[in-house]
Structure 1
């Protein structure tokens, strides 16, 4: 599944409250580590074993309401949501930590 951009607060609410567990990459266009891990996040979204998860991106500068409500303080931040609630979060561009988090939330 390709990574889907979230372009509005309503889109974000629909995504986190949907049937699927989702992972969201909170990023910024000026963030070097965000740019470095973005292709890895895309590759992870295409792994068959992870297709039970939804993959999304939120540009924190374009979606300030979402970033503020989710208390995003550093980029990149990766957060996992299930049933409308944040269940896990990691900060930083560490592919190994991201993969471990994803594996821990596979239903």
Structure 2
């Protein structure tokens, strides 16, 4: 009598499929976040290229936060990134969903191989990088670069 594990119930099964995962998250635009937060949702490869060029040319402090809706560590880190961007209103945070159509063309040259990944820019140059949902490292890096 071999007992197999019970099947995953349909509500939980939806969480683990990337096509349905987007249905589980609220669809609000981050570009108009309350409290003067500098969180911007990048919606295309073209927007990403324009944002990167602006950060490099104008040399203002910025973070590129690469994420995916199906990624549990990203879901854990997202509210922390939002909170931190509110604490540092002079830093613009660009949130980039790696599964957007066409965005993979810009990810390869940046070496984005896993999510969450954060790239921190200072004076038009990448100053630091965090791979993974390390809240303490995020707080330390932001304090060191942007205080």
Q: If each structure's strand is expressed as a fraction of its own residues, which one has the higher value? A: 1
Alignment of 1:28-43 (within 5 A): 28-43=68-83
Say whether 1:88 aligns with 2:128.
yes
Matched, 1:6 2:38: no
Distance in 1, matches of 2:123 and 2:104, equals: 22
How many angstroms does 1:15 deviate by? 4.0
For CA contacts below 8 A with separation 6 or more, give which structure has more relative contact order. Answer: 1
RMSD: 1.7
- SS of the residue 1:67 aligns to: helix
TM score, norm. by length of structure 1: 0.85
**Could you say which structure has the higher helix fraction?**
2
Q: Give the structure with higher Rg (CA).
A: 2
Aligned length: 105
Give the gaps of 5 or more residues in structure 1. Answer: none
> Which residue of structure 1 aligns with residue 105 of structure 2?
65
Question: 2: distance between equivalents of 1:96 and 1:9?
Answer: 27
> 1:86 Cα shift?
1.4
Structure 2: gaps of 5 or more residues? 1-36
Q: Following superposition, which runs of at least 4 residues in structure 1 exceed 4 angstroms of deviation?
A: none
